[in-house]
Structure 1
Amino acid sequence: MISRFRTRFGGISPYALIPVLLFILVALFAPVLARYAPDSQVITDAMQGPSPAHWLGTDYLGRDVLSRLIWAARVSLVAMSIVLISALVIGILVGSIAGYIGGKVDLLLIGMIDIMLSLPSLIIALALIGIIGPGYWSMIAALTLAWWANYARMSRAVVAGEVHQPHIEACRIVGASHWWIFTRHILPSVLGVVLVYASADAGALVLSIATLSFLGLGVVPPTPEWGQMVVDGMNYLEDSPGMVVLPGLALTLVVISFNVLGEAIALQKLPRAVKGRAMTKRMRARALEEQATKRSAH
């Protein structure tokens, strides 16, 4: 079964892919899985332990902890997806322009990229939020502007290496447009490299979203978010440690899952030694080729 799974999903181990899929499914089906609304308050039920009504207990406002954890996954997934897609679009666009045009444009853009990469992304996000103000969309804009430079540098390196290949020169000779050349021959190579890094960056983005929310600069109450839930539970750590431990554990598992998936995807790009059945098939094919060559020679 595992071998079939790997064949269907490009050789990626199910142990790397299943945790990420579970996180995505929980986030997508949060309205179905959550038994209570995330902002539903029942003060008389505040600070209760696990029970049949509330499987993971309630917080200081009587809100169901499990429901808020599930909805927080949805909030994190949406914010992470928006930031990641926006950063990829900006980074690929800027890096492709720099690598394809070259010359002074390349020098100008690569200088700007180097300046952005010289500072930690979280520091850039904090500075931008300090300028435009805290809030959900401010957090997304700040993280996008802090994250695009790395993708731009990778895109520029790939495009600069591809643009002088013989097949690209042949396309130009026959009169192919720059757009056709880029979309058909260069962009697939760029995406193949950048998406590998993006899969690993997804975990770091979830952690950055939680960090900004923990500092009060991202997701604000009553919207549930794991970092913000940790802040809410800090004052009740002795009485109800689950209010801090559970969102912290959920955040840790998601970050680790995305990092493992990114490493698994990256390993698929490395050449592997041919073993087992693949080696047997290759030896048989070579033997048949040698026999055909001898027959044609006679």
Structure 2
Amino acid sequence: MSRLFHALTLGQRCGALLLLSLLAAAWLVPLFGYNQPNVQHLSAAFAPISAAQPLGADQFGRDMLARLAAAVRLSFGLSLLCVGSAAVFGILLGVVAAWSQPWCDKLLNFIANTVMALPGLVLVLLISGIAPGSFIMLYLGIALTLWVEYFRVVRATVQPLVHSPEIECSRLLGFGRWYLFKRHIWPAIASNVLTLAAFGAATSILMMASTGFVYAGLKPPTAELGLMIVELFPYFAEATWVLIQPLCVLVLMVLGFNLLAGQKA
């Protein structure tokens, strides 16, 4: 682990530390008793910072610290799930397209171009609109948007390798395709895939927040950053400090993943 950390650039280390800090805080907060993000206390609406509520309360008197911690856990979980699914699907289809017959390559490339023709957020909104408030539909919409990037990068990288001398020698020695993938293909695509994964996680978080902005994503009282921002926006004048909290957390999460995606010079 230490060797991997030292291999990162300064920007990537900052991004990793920022994300780990946010994730650790999100999981540790409930252990200190701040584990009721949806409990309302209307008499304590916009309560100031106190020992009982270290970040104050929202318009319904709900603990902002508990809600932000729950929102961070939700955003991290969705982003990792979407990135993992999209990466596996995109890498698999990219390798198949590069390694198969021309007709299969053309078919898969046509499907990818068709998905790319629709703006990503529009596709997410269309799929989420099938079952508003469904976590599964939101996940499917984002994952279906992300897989195309992996497919295109992997396909373009693998195509020149398929007939390379190294792979031809391994074939002649009787090694199977799984060995060829581990030995020759994965080292060639790993760096690009990991970079796309970091950018994809940031995109997933932004897309999830964007659906919350237009009430097409998860529904109240779910603690989700975009939904929290929309609910608090009408109270901007009287409780600016409460609205700023989910905005800052959203910016920090996206910044952390973008820093982590930085390429070595």
| 2: CA distance, partners of 1:34 / 1:11 | 36
Q: Deviations over 1:226-257 (max 9, x none)?
A: 11101111222222123321101110121112
For the pair 1:103 / 2:102, whether they are aligned, the reply is yes
Q: Deviations over 1:94-115 (max 9, x none)?
A: 1110011141111111121122
| 2: CA distance, partners of 1:255 / 1:83 | 15
The alpha-carbon distance between structure 1 residues 34 and 76, as it changes in their structure 2 partners (threshold 3 A), is farther
Partner of 2:8: 11
Q: Tell me the C-alpha RMSD between the 2 structures.
A: 2.0
Could you tell me the TM-score, scaled by structure 1's length?
Answer: 0.81
Cα distance, 1:132 vs structure 2: 4.7
| 1: CA distance, partners of 2:214 / 2:49 | 28
Equivalent residues in 2 for 1:201-280, closer than 5 Å: 201-263=200-262, 266=263, 268=264, 270=265
What amino acid does structure 2 have at the position aligned with 1:47? Answer: F
Partner of 1:117: 116
Partner of 2:176: 177
Q: Deviations over 1:48-71 (max 9, x none)?
A: 122232222111221111211111
Partner of 1:84: 83
Equivalent residues in 2 for 1:47-66, closer than 5 Å: 47-66=46-65
The alpha-carbon distance between structure 1 residues 12 and 36, as it changes in their structure 2 partners (threshold 3 A), is same
Contact kept? 1:68, 1:224, Cα under 8 Å:
yes
Cα distance, 1:173 vs structure 2: 1.2
Q: Deviations over 1:173-195 (max 9, x none)?
A: 12222232223321332233211
Structure 1, unmatched stretches of 5+, are 271-298
Higher relative contact order (CA 8 A, sep 6+): 2
The alpha-carbon distance between structure 1 residues 79 and 30, as it changes in their structure 2 partners (threshold 3 A), is farther
Could you tell me the TM-score, scaled by structure 2's length?
Answer: 0.91
| 2: CA distance, partners of 1:6 / 1:189 | 20
| 2: CA distance, partners of 1:32 / 1:186 | 44
Partner of 1:27: 26
Contact kept? 1:26, 1:33, Cα under 8 Å:
no
Contact kept? 2:130, 2:137, Cα under 8 Å:
no
Contact kept? 1:229, 1:243, Cα under 8 Å:
no
Partner of 1:294: none
| 2: CA distance, partners of 1:93 / 1:75 | 27
Q: Deviations over 1:182-224 (max 9, x none)?
A: 2332133223321112112221211111111222222222220
Larger Rg: 1
Cα distance, 1:11 vs structure 2: 3.3
Partner of 1:284: none
The alpha-carbon distance between structure 1 residues 142 and 30, as it changes in their structure 2 partners (threshold 3 A), is farther
Kindly tell me the number of residue pairs found equivalent between the two proteins. 262
SS in 2 for 1:62: coil
The alpha-carbon distance between structure 1 residues 219 and 132, as it changes in their structure 2 partners (threshold 3 A), is closer
Contact kept? 2:14, 2:256, Cα under 8 Å:
no
Contact kept? 2:194, 2:261, Cα under 8 Å:
no
What amino acid does structure 2 have at the position aligned with 1:10? Answer: A
| 2: CA distance, partners of 1:235 / 1:244 | 9
Contact kept? 2:68, 2:225, Cα under 8 Å:
yes
The alpha-carbon distance between structure 1 residues 57 and 27, as it changes in their structure 2 partners (threshold 3 A), is closer
Equivalent residues in 2 for 1:121-136, closer than 5 Å: 121-136=120-135
Q: Deviations over 1:258-285 (max 9, x none)?
A: 112212xx1x2x4xxxxxxxxxxxxxxx
Cα distance, 1:165 vs structure 2: 1.3
